Amino acid sequence: MNTPIQLNGLWQLKDETGTYDLPFELPGDGVSALYKNNKIEDPYFGQNEYDIRWICEHDWIAKRVVNLTSTDFDLILSEVDTITEICVNGQLVLSTKNAFRTYRQNISEALKIGDNEFEIRFKSVVKYANDQQAKQPYFVPHMAEMCPIENGNMVRKPQCDFGWDWNIALAPFGIYGDMHLVPTAALQLGDLSVEQIHENEQVQLKISLPVKNFQDTRPAPTLTIAGKNIEATYDPTHQTLMAEVIIDSPDLWWPSGQGEQTLYDLDILIGDHKLHRKIGLCDIKLISEPDDIGRSFGFEVNGRPVFAKGANWIPADALAGRIDSDNVRDLLQSTVDANMNMIRIWGGGRYEPDWFYDLCDELGLMVWHDLMFSCNLYSATDEFLFQIEGEVAEAVSRIDYHACIAVWCGDNELIGALGWFDESKKDRDTYLVAYDRLNRVIEAQVKRMAPNANWWPSSPSPGPMSFGDAWHDDSSGDMHFWSVWHEGKDFDHYRDVSPRFCSEFGFQSYPSMNIIRTFANEEDFNIAAPVMESHQKNTGGNARIAETMFRYFRFPNNFENFVYLSQVQQGLAIKTAVTHWRSVRPTCMGALVWQLNDTWPVCSWSSLDYGGGWKLLHHMEKHFFAPIFISAVPKENHIELALINDNPDTVPTEINVFALSMSGITRELTTFKSTAEALSSNSVCEIARSDIQDDEVLVYEWTDKNRERVRDHWAPRPYKNYKLPNPNITFISQKTDKGYDISMTADAPAFFVAMEADIAGRFSDNAFLLLGGETKTISFNPVSDDKGPEFTLRDLRNATL
Ligand code: BMA
């Protein structure tokens, strides 16, 4: 009687004209269903995107018959994308228009015993968006490049569904979350809230759980955590169960790299109902205070200042029906494997499902959480703001109890966007007031649902009630630094700023060859081929990549080497920024690279390819985000070596600095022991520029916490100015239990040595410097062992000869 009836499974899908009629697996999206049933070509291949745009201009109808033996049910649907009318036995029972809400509706009156016809009409989101725009009291602009399917800002659905400067534009439809019927009279559990008070080696937890249809009879509901069993009390006014518990000498939850990710099992028993959650005990404070420079910005975790190292998260796939938790786990695992401890869930995507935050808790990834508004201007009508109230309240109350949540941030770049449109430039008053109304609603809801959470009004922002240029002013708050990519400045320009916290900066590269092969034929292996251009959504992006190569490198000798070099230069760009900003800790307390992942195979700023493969940047990130690291910071007459330690304890290290000539001669400059002070960056040595000859680069090695030797190099001149020797690298690969070991030897210095495989898998290292006479062994773990890999080795000299 109390069991829910699942509505997931097979439905039948038709378009409004009746031309298409196909099975539709829900949860899922319509575009994927059309592809799976051979009604359209692969959406991600070639230029198919443009041939299937019509899908979002049509209405679609999904139907299914459900047999019932009783009729007293509520319908529950979440992640309904987006504009739908739901009919049961021909009667309209629910209309939806927000993909971020969960809908619950009593539908008893429409139900009957026996067969019931369920019908979901997915209305064209394009028509809806245009209608909404027409109804606005004044035009509400959107970014043309980010929104080729127009007026996406009118619809509460991932903004990148309408296209973005890295996304395919398909504005898909579907249902991706829960879909079931529950008996109306059954117990309903709301969102768990866990307030944590950390004091004197104790954590006090104030736990509350809204309940509906609760029978306040014996035995009383109980709650178990950390070996304590407590009776919960029921507050009938608020229909909420409450309990308090004190945990002595708690095992705290730490971000990856800072300690353990202990999670306590919380079990709540209410009659026959069980609720289980994992709770991390953690106190994250956002510290942003006026200081000599402007206004600081950084996170203190359990009282310890933690430098945030990470990247921006966008949805795991452009077609939500393709997202699965195994792939997402792999992406997030790669994030911590690259020594990152934070992701920023960017405001043009979606609030993620519960399991996503469970993964972040488990892996130790702090989450900077934008609310879902990005780069456009938004309506401030009563109707829109009312919708936002519900959306924000629901998202925050569902997600906030997770240990990983570091900050709620109002939006992405909405303040900047005020200056991007003619309308808002001419009439800033109207649009600024509208922005403030929206932002106040968001803030009020965040504070209502999570009064103790960290709040930041917008990203980037110099701070509350400040609407300054957070793109170029590095003195206050968080910064998005785009001058190198979007303004074409040199990589060195990253060193002209010392952001307090850089929450976005990026440089594009091509996806790896095994990804390019999934969407392009060999005849399109050309950077100006229309197929390659249509997999580049940032206007002028391919030209920027090519033009940058001219500045730093000799031009690559074929398409595959172009792809390789694009990834090398992306890595160098980001390395320049991160090594400098880590070296100025604590002025700067965070660097979040734009962007971690891709939603489809595309040229972009990501460090992980679509599907999760590591681009060279990701390997380089693992290296330059390492907790013990030496940054080379070039000054006018010398190069400063800064020893950085993100660990909470001091680490002894041995440092060896030498000059390396292109003929392979090494000239020692200095060797010394040092101690890396905890949670700091300190200059440990200066090398005069005059100590490095024209055909030399500076190489520095150090021992890390495990006494392992790590190496890096810095080239005073662009690589194109060096006469790189032919390293004649030879390699042999050997099958092992887990995959392959590949040993390589060079007979002269080889820069950015990179191994590639024609199948998916992960290398243990890549893009490194190999000295002449040296042998290095790396491993390769293929995703599947169906076919043995074919390896291709690249290095800078042979790619640009
Ligand atoms: C930032 C982001 C995204 C965008 C990226 C690259 O501003 O917030 O909107 O994709 O730049 O242009």
Position 637 scores a pLDDT of 96
**What average pLDDT does this structure show over 686-693?**
97
CA–centroid distance, 516 to ligand 1, in Å, is 23
**What average pLDDT does this structure show over 761-781?**
97
CA–centroid distance, 512 to ligand 1, in Å, is 21
pLDDT of 717-729, one tens digit each? 999 999 999 999 9
DSSP conformation class of 509? B
- In the chain, the amino acid numbered 213 is N
**Both structure tokens of 263:** 């999670």
Percentage of residues in the chain having pLDDT higher than 70: 100
**What average pLDDT does this structure show over 125-145?**
97
Contact 594 CB / ligand 1 (< 6 Å): yes
pLDDT of 671-688, one tens digit each? 999 999 999 999 999 999
Q: Are 516 and 534 in contact (CB under 8 A)?
A: no
Average pLDDT in the chain: 97
Position 774 scores a pLDDT of 95
Position 2 scores a pLDDT of 61
| Non-local CB neighbours of 468 within 8 Å, separated by 6+ positions | 462, 476
Q: Ligand 1 pocket check: which of 146, 375, 536, 545 to mutate, most ligand atoms within 8 Å of Cβ? A: 375
Nearest ligand 1 atom to alpha carbon 486: 12
Q: Are 168 and 600 in contact (CB under 8 A)?
A: yes
Listed in sequence order, the DSSP H helices in 666-736 are: none
The CA distance from 684 to 675, in Å, is 9
CA–centroid distance, 311 to ligand 1, in Å, is 12
In 719-774, beta strands by DSSP E: 730-735, 740-745, 750-757, 761-763, 768-770
393: left (phi over 0), alpha (psi -120 to 50) or beta: alpha
| Chain centroid offset of residue 322 CA | 17
Position 688 scores a pLDDT of 97
Position 24 scores a pLDDT of 98
The CA distance from 371 to 52, in Å, is 30
Closest C-alpha to ligand 1, atom 1: 504
404 has pLDDT over 90:
yes
DSSP conformation class of 180? E
The CA distance from 676 to 651, in Å, is 5
56 has pLDDT over 90:
yes
Contact 504 CB / ligand 1 (< 6 Å): yes
Greatest alpha-carbon span in the chain: 89
Which of 736, 738, 733, 732 lies closest to 781, judged by CA?
738
Contact 165 CB / ligand 1 (< 6 Å): yes
The CA distance from 225 to 245, in Å, is 8
Contact 264 CB / ligand 1 (< 6 Å): no
Which of 258, 282, 286, 679 lies closest to 459, judged by CA?
286
**What average pLDDT does this structure show over 78-93?**
98
Contact 421 CB / ligand 1 (< 6 Å): no
Closest C-alpha to ligand 1, atom 4: 165
Position 217 scores a pLDDT of 77
pLDDT band at 786 (very low <50, low <70, confident <90, very high): confident
83 has pLDDT over 80:
yes
Which of 657, 669, 652, 658 lies closest to 703, judged by CA?
652
DSSP conformation class of 167? B
**Both structure tokens of 545:** 């990549």
Nearest ligand 1 atom to alpha carbon 594: 5
SS3 446: helix
Closest C-alpha to ligand 1, atom 8: 412
The CA distance from 301 to 406, in Å, is 9
Contact 412 CB / ligand 1 (< 6 Å): yes
Strands 304-306 and 308-313: unpaired
Neighbours of 304 (CB within 10 A): 14
1 has pLDDT over 60:
no
Cis peptide upstream of residue 43 (ω within 30 degrees of 0): no
pLDDT of 376-400, one tens digit each? 999 999 999 999 999 999 999 999 9
pLDDT band at 84 (very low <50, low <70, confident <90, very high): very high
Q: Are 296 and 500 in contact (CB under 8 A)?
A: yes
Check: pTM over 0.75? Answer yes or no: yes
Which strands make up the sheet holding 651-661, listed edge to edge? 666-676, 651-661, 696-703, 709-714
pLDDT band at 469 (very low <50, low <70, confident <90, very high): confident
Q: Are 409 and 347 in contact (CB under 8 A)?
A: yes
Contact 479 CB / ligand 1 (< 6 Å): no
Contact 598 CB / ligand 1 (< 6 Å): no
SS3 793: strand
Place of tokens 């041995």: 654
